[in-house]
Each structure stands twice: as structure tokens, then as C-alpha cells.
């Protein structure tokens, strides 16, 4: 379908979302939206997250999942108000663009796009890593224990899996939705069944105090905090925002989006906590002692390895099967979501026009899908390890989350008359608390990871500068004034991480408590700056007048 500036749907297009610069049918109901959320959250994170979190924090990893879910729920709440206000397909940056203009919107969308695109190969990598434990010589060659990464053969297999994800998204939305529903039911059953079996047949309560100082937190609570991002917990939960990225194609988005977002997050928190308890309890005490404690554990296929150690061969086979199903289901959804983020960036004028082109029959952004596939495979070969990808992706997601509370509170001031199907109470408290909590997540990620990912995000500003130059830097003064706080915030947070507590990778110029105080005070300062720099963009004015942004 060609682009249509009037926002009107061509004859026969069915129910559409206006103002998309290319029309979409609203075909996704509540169950499908909920399934996309749950189906994305339960991916490779459950296969590896419990083992990696235990390595960082020991039994205190249970609290890491709860802390991570709580902070993400704060972000999710702000999005539950923002999403139904403007049910359009795209990433979180589209909300920040309404309140702060193109610079902040681009950074938010770029962070989300990098995270979602990188997640596609991480899901494929997880499947291949589990496959490498099959009892066949050729399978053992897929993963190198020495480098803790996929071999060249493993990378080729993972690349083929990325192509399979692409094909499931490419043909039609209905094929995509049918695949998601079928896979998600299986993905819910297997983790719960596995956890229940391990708890019933191999639970050792003594593991919860067997190592270190005899407490549930043998490495201190800093380990539990670092695990939130470093062990892939944020990575595991990030699928909560997937229903929002399909808002432009959702039926009755005012009701279905909040239910799908919060419902999928709550359900998956229960599943992840049960899995973490099962992993800690099922680990043979002799293996825990032989490894030198939780930090010395080394699993190629964590839950399958545990099942084999307990002579549960049938459970191990089920886990090997799910190691394809769970990551693949998430990989399909992330590829579809990333293509829609790329499409949204083209609508904002910061990507080639081809990225916004819809196929005339399926109404899917196929050129954007091809671009995501190419970027995913390239990322896989640059970062051939699930561990590396999960940590980097988590920090990228966290940076994108910052857009939500900023846009949420700013639009309360700029567009007070906008229709808000979901209006949250205590907005003046929720927004700054969320901003500070997300900033702490960023700091807990630990140096040098924080600096590396912030560099990637800042480097992406080259795209923004290039496309702004093509328009003659239209209204550049206002864009910079409204958006300067975001790059300044990222550089400042990198500096605090660098000089912060050694427990979080810093030089030790700040104590652990001093670092927390510094992050809290600095982030509140930037929150105030961001709030005061927000301005009534043309899109926000349209929203306040009751019109869909981008129409008329």
C-alpha cells in the first residue's frame, strides 16, 4: 500500500488506525495481545536467567526478580496511560517525541530498536547453545566451552533460525498470530512443569544457606542488584512493552493494552520466581561445593543439566524441545516489533523512506523486516554469546525506559485536555520515582557495561544529525533546547558509574551508599530539567485538541 497523507484508508482496507502514514487493520484482540506479551517475556530468559542470577547473588536472586519486576511495573504503569492515548505502532520514543521533539524521541526509539533487534539473535543463540548439549558429536561442535560462545557452525545454525523467525513474520499477520498463540501455551506449560518436577523430586532446602556467610545473600545485596541487569532479568521481562508496539493494530486498545501489559508482567513474575526457587533447590549440594559456590557454577544448558543430574531424562528431552520453542516464539515477536520501531523512525523522518513502505496485500512493513533480519544476523556474529547479548540488551532497554515517565508527566502539563482512557492517580509521585528507579537500574548494570552501551546509544545520534541536515536543521534550536538533557544525562550517568563503588565496577571514589545517593540526586535533577524543557509540539497540540497526532 502506498502512503496516504490524508490518513484515509483505501477502499477495502478494513478497520484501520489513522495517521500512520500507511494504514493497518485492527485485527489483534486481547488474548492475542496478552499472548504477545507473555510469549515475548518467556523466551531464552527462563532457560538461562535463573542460573546467571544465582551466579551473581546466590539465593538472593529470588529478590532480584521481584526488584526487577517492580521497577519495570512502574514503567509499565506510565505506558498504560500513554499507550491508549495514542494507539499507534512503534516504540517508546514516539511518546517522548510528543513532549520533547525529535531528539529525545529518536534516542528513545534508537535504544529500543537496538535492544529489540539484538534480542532476535540472542534468542537464536540460546536455542543453539541448548542444542550443543545433545548427545551427538556434531552438536557438541556448536558451542565452545573455552570461549563460552557459539562456534562458526553454531553461528550458521543460529543465523538460519533468524531466517525462520523472519519467514513467520513475513507472510501475514494472521500467520504470525497463530504461531504466537500455539507457541505461548507450550511456553507457559513447560517452565511450570519443569519447576514443579524439580521441586518435587530434587529439592534441597539447605542450598538457601549453604554457601558464604550462611545467609540468603552470600555476596551481599549488591550482587542481587547487579543481577537485575547483568543476569538478564530486565532482558527477560522486557516483553511487557510488546503489546504497546502493536497498539496501531489492536482492537479496543483503550481496554486491551493495559490488561495485556500488566497481566503478562504479573503472570511471568510468578513463573520466574518459581523457576528461580526450583533452580536453587534442585542443585546437588556436591556440585555447589565442587564449583566453589554460586559464582563458580558453569552450565551450558542449566535446567536440562539439572534434569540429567537427577536422572530425569524425559524432562531433559522436554527442555531441549522447549529450548527451540520458547526462544523461537520470542524471536518471532521481537523481529516483528523491531520492524515496527524502524517503521516509526521513518515516519519521524530519521530513516530511509523504504522503511515505511507497506506491502499492498499484507499491510506489513516488509522492507523494515528485511533490514531487521540483516542487522540481527550481523549482531549475532559480532556478539556470539547469549551472556554478552543479554547484558548489553538489558542496558539498552533501560535507557529506552527513561522516555516513559518523562513523556507521561510532561503531557499531563502540555496536553491536559487530551483524551485519557486510562488516567493514573498520583502522577506527580509516580513519574519521578520511576525515573529514579530506572536510573538505579542503569547504575546497577556496572562499569564498563554502562559506558559501552551508552556509547552505542550516543553514537546512534549520527542518524539523527544526518536526517536533520537533509531538512536544513528545521527548528534545530528548539529541538536541541528540549532534548539536550538526554545526552547530558547519559554522559553524567556513565561518569558516576566510572567513579562509583567497586561493587558495581567503579574506581571506588564513591562508596556504595554514596553512589546510590549520587544517582538519586542527579537523576532527580535531570528529571526536573526534562520536565521544564518539554514544549507543546504540533503533535502534542493535536492530541490536546482531540485529534490523532499526525493527521490534518
DSSP string, 131-160: HTTSSSHHHHTTEETTTTEE-HHHHHHHHH
Rounded to an integer, what distance in angstroms lies between the CA atom of residue 496 and that of residue 510?
9
Q: Name the phi and psi angles at 267, rounded to 5.
A: -60, -45
Contacts for 152 with CB less than 8 Å, ≥ 6 apart = none
Rounded to an integer, what distance in angstroms lies between the CA atom of residue 346 and that of residue 363?
16
How many C-beta atoms lie closer than 10 Å to residue 352's C-beta?
A: 14
How many C-beta atoms lie closer than 10 Å to residue 258's C-beta?
A: 22
3-class state of residue 16 by DSSP: strand
Rounded to an integer, what distance in angstroms lies between the CA atom of residue 159 and that of residue 140?
18
∠ CA 196-238-276, nearest 5°, is 25
246, three cell numbers: 502493536
- Per-residue pLDDT of the chain in tens (552 residues, 90 and over written 9): 333 333 333 333 333 333 344 445 566 778 878 877 887 788 777 888 888 888 888 899 999 999 999 999 999 889 888 877 776 655 677 788 889 998 998 898 888 888 878 888 888 888 888 888 887 888 888 988 777 788 999 999 999 999 988 887 766 555 555 666 667 777 788 889 999 999 988 788 888 876 656 677 777 778 888 888 777 788 788 778 777 766 666 777 777 888 888 888 999 999 999 999 999 998 887 777 766 678 777 777 888 888 888 888 889 888 888 887 777 767 777 787 778 777 777 776 767 776 767 766 656 777 888 888 898 898 888 888 877 777 777 788 889 899 999 999 999 999 999 888 778 889 999 999 999 999 998 998 888 888 888 888 888 888 888 888 887 888 888 989 999 999 999 999 999 999 999 988 899 999 888 999 999 999 999 999 999 999 998 888 888 887 666 554
Rounded to two decimals, the pTM is 0.80
Domain residue ranges in the chain: 33-104+172-299+386-544
DSSP string, 228-296: HHHTSHHHHHGGGGHHHHTGGGBSSHHHHHHHHHHHHHHHHHHHHHHHHHHHHHHS-HHHHHHTTSGGG
3-class state of residue 97 by DSSP: helix
Number of H helices, E strands in the chain: 25, 2
Amino acid at each position: 500500500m502506498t502512503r496516504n497523507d490524508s490518513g484515509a484508508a483505501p477502499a477495502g482496507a478494513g478497520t484501520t488506525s489513522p495517521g500512520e502514514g500507511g494504514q493497518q487493520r485492527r485485527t489483534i484482540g486481547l488474548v492475542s495481545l496478552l499472548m504477545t506479551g507473555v510469549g515475548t517475556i518467556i523466551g531464552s530468559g527462563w532457560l538461562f536467567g535463573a542460573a546467571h542470577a544465582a551466579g551473581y547473588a546466590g539465593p538472593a536472586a529470588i529478590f532480584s526478580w521481584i526488584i526487577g519486576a517492580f521497577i519495570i511495573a512502574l514503567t509499565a504503569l506510565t505506558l498504560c496511560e500513554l499507550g491508549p492515548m495514542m494507539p499507534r505502532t512503534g516504540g517508546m520514543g514516539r511518546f517522548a517525541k510528543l513532549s520533547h521533539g525529535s531528539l529525545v524521541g529518536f534516542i528513545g526509539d534508537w535504544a529500543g530498536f537496538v535492544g529489540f533487534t539484538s534480542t532476535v539473535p540472542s534468542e537464536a543463540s540460546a536455542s543453539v547453545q541448548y542444542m550443543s548439549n545433545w548427545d551427538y558429536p556434531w552438536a557438541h561442535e556448536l558451542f565452545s566451552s573455552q570461549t563460552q560462545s557459539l562456534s562458526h557452525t553454531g553461528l550458521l545454525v543460529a543465523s538460519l533460525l533468524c531466517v525462520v523467525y523472519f519467514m513467520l513474520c513475513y507472510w501475514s499477520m494472521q500467520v504470525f498470530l497463530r504461531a504466537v498463540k500455539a507457541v505461548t501455551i507450550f511456553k507457559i506449560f513447560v517452565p511450570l512443569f519443569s519447576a514443579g518436577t524439580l521441586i518435587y523430586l530434587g529439592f534441597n532446602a539447605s542450598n538457601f544457606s549453604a554457601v558464604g556467610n550462611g545467609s540468603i545473600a552470600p555476596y551481599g545485596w549488591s550482587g542481587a542488584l547487579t543481577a537485575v541487569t547483568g543476569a538478564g532479568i530486565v532482558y527477560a521481562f522486557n516483553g511487557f512493552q510488546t503489546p504497546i508496539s502493536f497498539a496501531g493494530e489492536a482492537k479496543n486498545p483503550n481496554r486491551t493494552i493495559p490488561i495485556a501489559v500488566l497481566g503478562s508482567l504479573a503472570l511471568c513474575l510468578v513463573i520466574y520466581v518459581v523457576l528461580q526457587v526450583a533452580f536453587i533447590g534442585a542443585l546437588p549440594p556436591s556440585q555447589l561445593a565442587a564449583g566453589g559456590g554460586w559464582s563458580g557454577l558453569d552450565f551450558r544448558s542449566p535446567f536440562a543439566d539439572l534434569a540429567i543430574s537427577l536422572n530425569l531424562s524425559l524432562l531433559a528431552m522436554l527442555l531441549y524441545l522447549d529450548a527451540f520453542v520458547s526462544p523461537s516464539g520470542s524471536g518471532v515477536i521481537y523481529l516483528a516489533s523491531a520492524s515496527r520501531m524502524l517503521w516509526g523512525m521513518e515516519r519521524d523522518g530519521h530513516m530511509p523512506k523504504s522503511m515505511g513502505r507497506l506491502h499492498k496485500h499484507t499491510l506489513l512493513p516488509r522492507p523494515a523486516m528485511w533490514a531487521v533480519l540483516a542487522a540481527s544476523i550481523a549482531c549475532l556474529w559480532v556478539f556470539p554469546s547469549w551472556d554478552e547479548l543479554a547484558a548489553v540488551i538489558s542496558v539498552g532497554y533501560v535507557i529506552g525506559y527513561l522516555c516513559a515517565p518523562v513523556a507521561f508527566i510532561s503531557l499531563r502539563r502540555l496536553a491536559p485536555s487530551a483524551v485519557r482512557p486510562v488516567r493514573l492517580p498520583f502522577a506527580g509521585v509516580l513519574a519521578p520515582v520511576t525515573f529514579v528507579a530506572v536510573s538505579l537500574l542503569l547504575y546497577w548494570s556496572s562499569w564498563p557495561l554502562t559506558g559501552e552501551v551508552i556509547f552505542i546509544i550516543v553514537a546512534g545520534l549520527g542518524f539523527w544529525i544526518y536526517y536533520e541536515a537533509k531538512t536544513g536543521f528545521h527548528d534545530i534550536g528548539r529541538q536541541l533546547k528540549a532534548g539536550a538533557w538526554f545526552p547530558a544525562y547519559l554522559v553524567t550517568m556513565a561518569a558516576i558509574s566510572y567513579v562509583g563503588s567497586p561493587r558495581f565496577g567503579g574506581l571506588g571514589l564513591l562508596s556504595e551508599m554514596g553512589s546510590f545517593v549520587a544517582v538519586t540526586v542527579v537523576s532527580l535533577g535531570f528529571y526536573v530539567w526534562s520536565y521544564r524543557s518539554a514544549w507543546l509540539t504540533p503533535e502534542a497540540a493535536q492530541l490536546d485538541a482531540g485529534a490523532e497526532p499526525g493527521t490534518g
